[in-house]
Structure 1
Amino acid sequence: MTAQTPPTPPFRDPRLPLAKRIDDLLGRLRLDERIAFLHQFAPAVERLDIAAFRTGQEALHGVAWMGPATVFPQAVGLGATWNEDLVRRIGEAVSTEVRAMRARDDRVGLNVWAPTVNLLRHPLWGRNEEGYSEDPKLTSAIATAYTRGLRGDHPTYWRTAPVLKHWLAHNNETNRDTTSSSVRPRVLHEYDLRAFRETVEAGAVAGVMPAYNLVNGRPNHVSPYLNEHLRAWTDEDLLVCSDAGAPSNLVDSEHYFDTHEEATAAAIRAGVDSFTDHGTDGSKIVERIQGALTQGLLTADDIDEAVRRQLSVRFRLGEFDPEFDPESDPASDPASDPASGPHTNVTAFDTPAHRALAQEAAEQAIVLLKNEGGLLPLAEDTRIAVVGLLADECKLDWYSGTLIHRSTPLEGLYERFGADRVTFAEGVDRVRLRTAAGTYLSIPEAPDAPDEARGAEGALDPALLAGRTDLPPLTTDATGTDLALVDWGDDVLTLRAPDGRYLSVAEDGYVRASADQPGGWVVQETFRLERHESHGSHGSHEGGHLLKHMGTGLYVSVAADGVKVANENAEIFTLDVTERGVESVTRIASEADAVVVIAGNDPHINGRETEDRTTLRLPQQQERLLRAARAANPNTALVLTSAYPYAVGHDDLPAVLWTAHGGQAAGTALARVLAGDVSPAGRLPQTWYAADTDLPDLLDYDVIGSRQTYLYFEGTPLFPFGHGLSYAGFAYENLSHRVTGDEVKVTFTLTNTSARTADDVPQLYVRAVNPSVPRPRRELAAHRRVTLAPGASTDVTLLAPLAAFAFWDVAQDRLRLEPGAYELLVGASSEDIRLTATVDLDGDPAVPRPVVDAGLDAAAYDDQRGTEIVDRTRTSGDAVTPADGGTGELLFHDCDFGSGVTEVTVEAAGEGAVEFSLNGGPVLAVLNLSATTGPYDYTTLSAGIVAAGVHDVHLRLRGPLRLARVGFSG
């Protein structure tokens, strides 16, 4: 008797609708299997022939953490290109490399955690490098382009499944898991939600990752906005992946819940589908979910809803249809026929096309901030002095892949102008560290690195060098070793051996020259010199320095078995300077025709994930090098290579450029721009402020009230949003506009008036002429990057949807287009406006608040002073409290009391008083609140008033109370 082939289960039948396939598979999974799926590392289900699945593959600007990959410019650099087509092509390249790497290594995941769409509200945010722009329109445009490239063009199967980071209102690393962002409704809807919404609505997003912080007193991982807003924007199933360790934070650091079972249940009910916690060990999450089920905090339906969204992503990635998925690797399915259709080319990795794309992106990301006196572009026969800490560096950041190719500014200039015309001085001091015994720190000769520690072209792989314990530790001897001392600011320094190896501390505590670059989650290559005072019979006097290791907080000591960090016996060092960096800079600068100073940051030091910056200022050591070069040679160009803006005095500098860390082709790209082979056309994606005093507090998220970003900033920026110069000239003429349907169509003529082919980036801004509420000074509505040949003209059409002219009306709890006049501003930056026109738009007129029927939600104020928004309950709603339990004020405009009311009621918790008045007049009622049993134990208080007609309502809050609502009755 011949055995029959078992029928194909419905979930493996691609002819069926996706929902039916998911239902079938979900019904075949046991409850324990479904629970296990909710951890980041979902195990295989062998009885159903279902493979293990991992959420999360970092791919911010190339495939990260999986070894060699094409490294594109940092995300903020991609934002500076203002070029969606370019960014889409980069997304395609990255997703192609993800698939190619996956074919070789199943640890590579197809659910990619990128891009980051957090708005660059505050330039001191440590993760500034990860976002695209301070503007929601530009951010969503670039993010949409990247996600479309990551997703691929197939109508059914996705090449990768992008997850947006980090939901929501997240711009601080300082206490990031315990701080709350107070975000009023207008800021929420007009600013923070917009970048996510427009990208999700574009249709190429698989999910989001909540941020570590709280918003309005509630952790993002239990945010009702996930279901109320995010999932209302699309019919697709969106996967919500937690950030690493955040589920445990709900109890451990935030103390928002008493038990992990409560916290896990609340996160699942709020919409979290995948828990990134405890590394690869899913047992803790499984145990918590099972406990929540036993305690009645969750139901099996709650589990199924989360698993359903996971399965939806897995089906879209083609996991269950390898024979039909054009992206699958035929080698992974022995039954598949390579001739049956297009499959991923597993060699489509580090291709000539990807290398060219990395260079194109690096070139387009360069922003020419200033160019006076004709210094740039440099003439072919220019003798160039190249100086600076970053001149011969190609820096990586935390979310970079390992470089296959590398191009530093120095190498690029050597290649472009010839080594005989380029001189170099790094400009760092060379020192020897003398011990109290009179000996010096000495670096033993390193043995040859093993083959597995070498990457492409024989380069040492920094991931393999850092933390090595097989190298001999530092010792001391009579002569010692010269060390390059680099001060990165805030007294944080690195020490580097003559052969380029950085001093680093491994897990055993010994100090070795073992790192190719500073790096790692905890950087082990940074130190701080602390002055040591000696105390003797003649009083205190300076007695050398202690060398503190920043990664461990311990001090360097000298022992018989080598130099180490320890809790005791800290060595007292004297610095003997053997070479002054400023002197070498002065020498080569004075002998050159032009000087190029390369300054900026190391992405792992003083401003990165877990660490905000403290100042906009350039580190003092780099400032000294810049001034020395300028004093020696007036033809000095400053190139800032950085992950964020700086406040740099530039009045005496003829040329200033900025580029984010530009990936593998950074040096070649910069040299081509300096030489004029490419006319720069990058534009600033965020405001560059002139001084720290221009900045609000890092934790002040009210962009409207504190006048933040180019939208509201009323000072004079160092360089404005959208700014960027060119070697070419462009004329803007013939502006016309008309309203068609639900958009305003703006057309003008753009002409290249120069003798070189170049790009320009015309920008359309809009502004309400006579707004009834505070509105942006101007707001980006559309832009386009245009390439024009010499003397060529083109008609440019930019479309501004009517929604771009609307604001969030807190009285009506919706977006509202106010009727009236609006300016259309076309120009080369937010401050360089070339053409203007005015359009009159119809809209919905304002109406008084119907407070008798609807009351007032406390958080829906028009203005406030001294308050912050907190959670009304753990699951939903907002309340308002005085900051620090003091006194705060709320203002509500145009409240309609109709024919009259005689009573005011407040819903509040805590302890304190609410004072009620109208139009800034005398207090009409005081409602005193005795202490309630907890922050969510609300009570209703009432007092008599007399009010009729339309008035402004003023509320003064005193004490640590939470005000949720105000009501009125007659």
Structure 2
Amino acid sequence: MSAPVPQYPFRDPARPLDERVDDLLARLTRDERIALLHQYQPPVPRLGVAGFRTGTEALHGVAWHGPATVFPQAIGLATTWSPDLVRAVGSAVGDEVRVFHRKDPAGVGLNVWAPVVNPLRDPRWGRNEEGYAEDPWLTGVIATAYGHGLAGDDPTYLKTAPTLKHFLAYNNETDRCTTSSNLPPRVLHDYELPAFRAPIEAGAATGVMPSYNLVNGRPAHLTPLINDVLRTWTRDELLVVSDAYAPGNLFGLQHHLPDGPSAYAAALRAGVDSFTQDGTDTAPTVDRLTTALDRGLITVADIDAAVRRSLTIRFRLGEFDEVDPYRGLEPELVNGPVHRRLAHDAARRSIVLLEHDGEVLPLTTSTRVAVVGPLAGTLSEDWYAGTLPYQVTAKDGIAERLEHVEYCEGVDRITLRVAGSSSYLTVGEDAVLRTSTTAGEFDLFDWGGEALALRSVRNGQHLSVTDDGELVADQPGPNGWEVKQTFGLVRTSAGLLIRHLHTDQYLEVGATGTVGLGLEGTAFEVDVVVDGAAAAAELAAGAEVAIVVVGNHPLVNGRETEDRESLDLPAAQDRLIRQVHAANPRTVLVLSSSYPFAIGWAQEHLPAILWSAHGGQEYGRALADVLLGDHDPSGRLTQTWYHSAADLPGLLDYDIIATDATYLYYRGTPLYPFGHGLSYTTFAYGDLRLSEPSDGQVRVTFTVTNTGDRPGTELAQLYTRQQNSRVKQPLRQLRGFRRVSLQPGESADLELTLATADLGFWDVTRNRHCVEAARHTLMIGRSSADIRLTTTLDVEGEHIPPRTLDRLPATTFDDYCAVTLTAAPGEPGDAVVSLESQAWLAFDDVLVPTATLHARAANPTLHSASIELRLDDPHHGDLLGTLEIPPTDTLVPIPITLTARPGTHTLYAVFSAPNVILERLQRASPGS
């Protein structure tokens, strides 16, 4: 028997938390402390300290550990606009994490990597389903609710330790480890940071994960914002964990630092406390940090600060105490009746009624329906979903409730014949793909982005490629981190080549009839045995109502590592919808997807359209509730739906202000606006009233009346717009919302509180938040575009004074052309770099003094370059002077003398060449 562990002071729950952490930290050796900086913290047996790991995925259920309750995707949870519901879901997920942890403490940690709070700036982002909203305030509200649920309500102990992902400005999978997100100060402070700030300030997050990308030319894992901003929002310790394998990128893909020790040292100094690298192998991390310590790149104090943060979270989770408020959680609660009911409620409240002519929906139980489409009879798991314990598909849920239901998958059934021969692809009893004179049949699934999947009719399994390169039909569908079940068809003069998308190789038939992969490929001819759209249309023609269920597969054409290029529906799905509608005009489109689609034709022609994110295990029953009118559609969009990708700026352009992006700045007419969602009844708004401002707040009161003949649920939304400002302001901005359920003819008075301090923005001229003296339009409505009531509010604020040139950071520009932001060479701050000759920066309202200035600039090229300072026009304005910048990799002071000009001006800095860096202009001190 092992000797009992002494009862050290750190195990005494009566002592203050800081004292307990200090005691344990002091008892650890240097090597033990360094080892605790890896994701898999090893045990310290001599102190009775167990192992600990970060990183249980819990985005909308417990992922990767077997069957668990699967709730709607994160975007679907947000679409409920119900913080109370989202908090309940977070609490249920936290409970299940605790149960899994008790069964496998080493494999299921209590540090959970959720929620994702990146605002959904662009719907083409591959991880769109992981976020909540394109609005940062709403994202913060939902994230705070989910985080509180995960953390639990105990005043002392955390249920789990929520970790926010992914800091910062992360909305592209394309080259995600090497691209840099451009964040001017206003975009940083008014759009990106608020979503993180809300849950941290509210105590709903105990940690943060930096993102893979660079921000303004600096890896996000090295941003000074971690220590200088994030950690100022809370008095609690904030545990910062790296993303998986991101530390290696610092000296690998990103080439930002020369080697592992310097990279790990830089990350530790920047505030990263836990390194997720090399799987369970702690040795490389320990070696790099030990070397960094020996080389003087970090200190013992740096190590202790990181270990302290980690230990604090472990204490708050109750690891070192006998008392466990979550010990009573029974294993049976995982996918138990309570959680199933919650999953059902969340799924039905997430469904959005996009279109409704009042004629087709709601259905009755006696309605004869045809349910068709590739998503009608299946549910799919995304990368961060748990294993579905059961599936209630759309077909199942509708069939449970309606008396007459017929079903057709609506996909083409084909054969694949070697061109110019009588030899066909077929699947043998061993599931291996080979050729035969007997044609094998395959169901062809179109998932968009030229990605197709082939399901063998013989065994019902999808064609895949093994690690050994063998083609077999043995998978239930696309799955896994490396999806090996998708193919593309390449048309040639000889026939069609079948390209395996994962390996970028082609199906090749050998001399003996074996089928493998190769670089040349064998040409095939496709024969359609069953036209899926025609079969669905034929079935629909005999029904009273046709229900077409389409959407995306969450692991194909838009997922982690893969952005979309287009917003279009897959071509085969679009054809299915059109042919079914032609056969039966009473066609209802049901979209289940991780992101918005461009469905302009459907919007124009179909009588009813519903959308939801992938809804989890209870999706089918939830859908039936809405289709039958048992539940009034109450979901609302948290993201703008556009007519096409042509309405969007470049995927890699993060400056939403300059590019008129998101509902905040978009000047076009969207397909469906932010906040949109219909009801089976109608509502009227009236009697808008504002209270007198008191303690910086205004009460906004109005009346909502159900003017229809059915009970319904309305979501009233409050938006504001600042009418006059020194800067470009949002066209509309969400400030609050209120849900109300009303019987026919019933009215309710609703009240929302507006804090005038929230009406401010980041003032780049003084580097702080500012509320201007201005008039604001207040708008109440059903969405950001369906405004029913308006009034104005005069806000007493400040007038932003003209700028001086005492210190003018280059990043505080008001406008720009052909520049981007970059890391200031050798410094923690940012600078501006030109992308082409005649690029320029504009600084409005500048008082130009008689003075000698120093411009801090760099020119990492082989030739001299210059920056002209001009007034009021970048090309023809008065020339104040020219900065001549010699070739240099470092920032150097360049002097220039200005002569005062009366009044305020727009000052332009015009670059003569690309790759010139300007960090700031500053009045020279005496004697300099």
**Normalised-by-shorter TM-score class:** over 0.9
- Is this contact kept in 2: 1:125–1:612, CA < 8 A? yes
Indicate if the aligned counterparts of 1:735 and 1:748 stay in contact, CA closer than 8 A: yes
Residue equivalent to 2:466 = 506
1:151 deviates by: 0.3
User: Which deviates the most, 79-88 or 483-492?
Assistant: 483-492
User: Partners of 2:755 and 2:520 in 1: how far apart?
Assistant: 68
Given that residues 425 and 584 in structure 1 are in contact (C-alpha distance below 8 angstroms), is that contact kept between their aligned partners in structure 2?
yes
Residue 856 (structure 1) aligned to one of 808, 815, 839: 808
CA distance in structure 1 between the partners assigned to 2:515 and 2:749 by the alignment: 67
Per-residue deviation, 1:874: 5.0
Q: 1:409 to 1:195 in 2, by over 3 A?
A: same
CA gap 1:636/1:922 in 2 versus in 1, 3 angstroms: same
Q: Are 2:917 and 1:966 equivalent residues in the alignment? A: no
Q: Which residue in the other structure is 1:103 paired with? A: 102
Deviations 1:499-549 (A, max 9, x none): 4311111111111111112011110100112223xxxxxxxxx22222111
8 A contact 2:566–2:645 mirrored in 1? yes
Shift in Å, 1:4: 12
Letter in 2 for 1:434: R
Question: Is contact 2:374–2:409 with CA below 8 Å preserved after alignment?
Answer: yes
- 1:472–1:512 contact (8 Å) kept in structure 2: yes
Q: Which residue of 2 aligns with 1:11?
A: 10
Show the 5 A alignment for 1:399-548: 399-418=384-403, 421-436=404-419, 437-445=421-429, 472-498=431-457, 499-532=459-492, 542-548=493-499
CA distance in 2, matches of 1:757, 1:405: 32
Look up the SS of the partner of 1:938 in the other structure: strand
For 1:541-600, what per-residue CA distance to the aligned partner results, in whole angstroms no more than 9, with x for missing partners? x22222111112222233488755333573322212211112202211211111111121
Per the alignment, residue 166 of structure 1 pairs with 166
1:643: which partner in 2? 594
| Cα distance change on mapping 1:601 and 1:4 into 2, 3 Å | closer
The residue type paired with residue 159 of structure 1 is K
Question: Are 1:737 and 2:696 an aligned pair?
Answer: no
Pairing partner for 2:651 from 689, 698, 705: 698
Q: Where do residues 295-374 of structure 1 align in structure 2 (5 Å cutoff)?
A: 295-321=295-321, 323-328=322-327, 343-374=328-359
Partner of 1:203: 203
Structure-to-structure mapping, 1:218-233, within 5 angstroms = 218-233=218-233
Q: Deviations over 1:217-238 (max 9, x none)?
A: 1000000000111000000100
* Structure 1 residue 363: Cα displacement: 0.4
Distance in 2 between the 1:785 and 1:855 partners?
Answer: 48
Residue of 888, 898, 904 corresponding to 2:853: 904
Contact map agreement 1:474 1:562 (CA 8 A) in 2: no
User: One-letter code of the match for 1:385?
Assistant: A
Normalised to the residue count of structure 1, the TM-score between the two structures is 0.92
- Compute the displacement of 1:678 (Å): 0.9
- Whole-angstrom distance in 1 between the partners of 2:276 and 2:172: 21
Distance 1:311 1:552, change over 3 A: same
Contact preservation (8 Å) 2:411, 2:532: yes
Asked if the contact 1:689–1:719 (Cα under 8 Å) also holds between the matched residues in 2, the reply is yes
* Structure 2 counterpart SS, 1:427: coil
Residues 253-310 of structure 1 deviation map (CA, whole Å, 9 limit, x = unaligned): 1111111111100000000000011111111111110110111100011000000000
Q: What does residue range 563-602 of structure 1 map to in structure 2 within 5 Å?
A: 563-567=514-518, 570-602=521-553
Three-state SS of the structure 1 residue aligned to 2:642 is: coil
Match status 1:662 vs 2:633 = no
Q: Secondary structure at the match of 1:630?
A: helix
Contact 2:856/2:891, CA 8 A, preserved across alignment: no
Of residues 781, 790, 794, the one that matches 1:840 is 794
Identify the residue that residue 20 of structure 1 maps to in structure 2: 19
CA deviation vs aligned residue, 1:795-833 (integer Å, no higher than 9, x gap): 222122223210111111111111121111111100111
Q: Which amino acid aligns with 2:880?
A: L
* Contact in 1 for aligned 2:854/2:893 (Cα 8 Å): no
- 1:925 paired with 2:924, answer no
2:770 counterpart letter in structure 1: R
Partners of 1:296 and 1:100 in 2: how far apart? 44
**2: CA distance between counterparts of 1:704 and 1:657?**
31
The residue type paired with residue 966 of structure 1 is L
Determine if contact 1:363/1:673 at 8 Å carries over to the other structure.
yes
Quote the residue 1:94 is aligned against: 93
Do the aligned partners of residues 374 and 316 (structure 1) sit closer, same or farther apart at CA in structure 2, a change above 3 Å counting?
A: same
The Cα offsets for residues 589-617 of structure 1, whole Å up to 9 and x where unpaired, read as 21111111112110111111000000011
Whether the aligned pair in 2 keeps the contact of 1:100 and 1:347 (CA below 8 Å) is no
Stretch of structure 1 that moved more, 344-353 or 806-815: 344-353
- Structure 1 residue runs without a partner (length 5+): 329-342, 446-470, 533-541
* Letter in structure 2 aligned against 1:424: Y
Query: 3-state DSSP class of the match of 1:859?
Result: helix
The residue type paired with residue 445 of structure 2 is V
Please give the per-residue CA displacement for 1:313-355, whole angstroms capped at 9, x wherever unaligned: 101110001x212024xxxxxxxxxxxxxx3323321111100
Q: Which amino acid aligns with 1:858?
A: A
Please give the secondary structure, in 1, of the residue aligned with 2:114.
strand
Answering whether residue 746 of structure 2 is matched by residue 792 of structure 1, we say yes
Deviation at 1:794, TM superposition (A): 2.5
Q: CA deviation at 1:58?
A: 0.3
Distance in 1 of aligned mates of 2:827 and 2:313 = 27
CA–CA distance in structure 2, aligned partners of residues 434 and 666 of structure 1: 39
| Paired letter, 1:630 | H
- The separation in 2 between residues aligned to 1:411 and 1:284, in whole angstroms, is 51
Contact 1:509 1:564 in 2 (8 A): no
Mark the CA change 1:931 to 1:731 in structure 2 (over 3 Å): closer, same or farther.
same
What SS does structure 2 have at the residue aligned with 1:524?
Answer: coil
Deviation at 1:444, TM superposition (A): 2.2
Say if 1:382 and 1:594, in contact at 8 Å, map to a contact too.
yes
* Displacement of 1:202: 0.8
Q: Does structure 2 retain, via aligned residues, the 8 Å contact 1:110–1:160?
A: yes
Shift of the alpha carbon at 1:45? Answer: 0.5
Q: Distance in 2 between matches of 1:48 and 1:778?
A: 57
Letter in 1 for 2:456: A
* 3-state SS of 1:947 partner: coil
Moved more, 66-75 or 505-514: 505-514
Paired residue for 1:878? Answer: 830
Matches of 1:65 and 1:563 in 2, distance apart?
35
- For residues 183-224 of structure 1, give each alpha carbon's deviation from its aligned partner in whole angstroms, at most 9, with x where no partner exists: 000110000001001111111211100000011110000000
d(CA) in 2 for partners of 1:578 and 1:7?
75
Equivalent-residue separation in structure 1 for 2:142 and 2:713 (angstroms): 18
Q: Which residue of 1 aligns with 2:626?
A: 673
Counterpart-to-counterpart distance in 2, 1:689 and 1:472: 43
Cα offset for 1:99? 0.6
CA shift at 1:392, angstroms?
1.1
2:365·2:401 contact (CA, 8 Å) conserved in 1?
no
Cα separation, 2, equivalents of 1:97 and 1:261: 38
Write out aligned runs for 1:708-857 (5 A): 708-738=661-691, 739-851=693-805, 854-857=806-809
Aligned-partner residue type, residue 491 of structure 1: E
Provide closer, same or farther for how the CA distance between residues 230 and 568 of structure 1 changes in structure 2, counting only shifts above 3 A.
closer
Identity of aligned residues (%): 49
Cα distance per residue 1:763-801 (max 9 Å; x no partner): 111111222211011100111222334433332221222
What is the RMSD of the two structures over their aligned residues, measured on CA atoms? 1.7
Question: What TM-score, normalized to structure 2?
Answer: 0.96
Larger deviation: 952-961 or 720-729? Answer: 952-961
Question: What is the distance in 1 between the residues matched to 2:191 and 2:537?
Answer: 47
Return 622-631 or 155-164, whichever deviates more. Answer: 622-631
